[in-house]
Homo-oligomer: A and B are copies of this chain.
Amino acid sequence: MSISSAGIVKKRLFEFACNKNDMMILESGKKFGPITIAYETYGKLNQNKDNTILIQHTLTMDSHAAGIYENGGGSGWWDGLIGPDKAFDTEKYFIVCSNIFGGCSGSTGPSSIDPEKGHPYGTDFPFFSFSDVVKIQRVLIRSMGISKIFSVVGGSMGGMLALQWATDFPDEIGSVIPIASAWKQSPMQIALSEISRQSIINDLKWKGGDYYKSGKPDNGLALARMIGHITYMSDASMEKKFARNLKNGKFNFSFDADFEVENYLHYRGKAFVDRFDANSYLYISKALNYFDVSGDSLTNGLSGKDISFLVISFESDWLYPARQSEEMVRYMISKNIDVSYCKIESTYGHDAFLLEINEESKLIKNFLERVRNE
């Protein structure tokens, strides 16, 4: 734990919609409850309750964005950006990160027990949209007495959730930082999601989502993760990391992994199935594909509001190419919205938003200071 870490942190649970009268009505029209949302906080909420930064995670991450747990384990996934004097300065800001509705790291999702039936929801879990996710997350934020969020921030899917906040509740946020993200899912992104979903659905162990007793579709979920990892890297970063290095120094002349890159993908795939639920993957990935706040959807509500945007993309990111961020930024500028944009040079591909900590820190720190002093 570095000296500027967020320190020992704790996962908390927030429960609501526990009785029939206060269930959430989802975009699909379905009513749903009870709901638990797992979350973590770093830093302190100030007296004015106006120093909250809401961090949104990616498809496969969770509420553990910074610090470490008392019983050990890894530090949070954005630990380099969150802590005293870091980009998201825990001396100044109250930072909240919650696990997405539909997830599998403490929040209610398909692997949660349906209280009416006494077994996991599976595919009885309702389909949801990012509007639903944000509406549910807002209940948590409101429960803390926070009526306005200083900044909503996220990389990849997290950036899209931040943009969903700006679209749905523009009066309740002060700034937005979407990183390596987009204002709508492109057909390429939808296509890549669909092959990942089919990897799971093709696994006979998926059994229509009802696998919690019979054994998980590990091969399918691992394959989905392998597909994901390819899209997180770049041609250049793969060349640098793996080249054509062989696992055993020679060709196997078999269907086993010959190359280190294959071995790496298998390793990452296997590690993933221990920590993620296949149905959560499917549901969140569908919601992701439904995401589209492009054009006036996003900007109509922002007109005349005091909201600032910092948009960041990365040169070698082919999963969320800069052209998508740039399309959004151009449109925002045409609508007189306060937006700063930077494309960071990097060879890391989409993973850059987790790795280019120094460059991101500079941009984010300056941006937050400016917004705070305005």
Contact = CB atoms under 8 A, between A and B. Distances in A.
A126 to B, nearest CB: 8
B262 A227 contact: no
Interface in A292-322: 292, 318, 321
A250 to B, nearest CB: 11
A230 B290 contact: no
A261 interface: yes
A233 B189 CA distance: 12
Contact of A230 (B188, B253, B289): B188
Interface string A251-294: 10111011111100100000000000000001000100110100
A202 B202 contact: yes
A333 interface: no
A96 interface: no
Nearest to A285: B255
Contact of A226 (B198, B230, B292): B198
A8 to B, nearest CB: 38
A239 interface: yes
B235 A186 contact: yes
Given A190-B262, A194-B265, A255-B282, A202 B199 contact: yes
Query: Number of contact residues on A: which range applies?
Result: 35 or more
Contacts of A233: 188
Nearest to A29: B253
B187 A239 contact: yes
Given A199-B199, A227-B227, A265-B194, A238 B187 contact: yes
A135 interface: no
Contact of A191 (B261, B286, B318, B321): B261
Interface in A210-237: 219-220, 223, 226-227, 230, 233, 235
B235 A223 contact: no
B238 A188 contact: yes
B191 A253 contact: no
A235 to B, nearest CB: 5
A202 B187 CA distance: 26
A331 interface: no
A172 interface: no
A202 B219 contact: yes
Interface string A180-215: 000011111011101101110111100000000000
17 contacts: A186-B244, A187-B239, A187-B242, A187-B261, A188-B233, A188-B239, A191-B230, A191-B261, A194-B257, A194-B262, A195-B223, A198-B226, A199-B223, A201-B255, A202-B219, A202-B223, A235-B323
Interface of A: 28, 123, 127, 184-188, 190-192, 194-195, 197-199, 201-204, 219-220, 223, 226-227, 230, 233, 235, 238-239, 241-244, 251, 253-255, 257-262, 265, 282, 286, 289-290, 292, 318, 321, 323
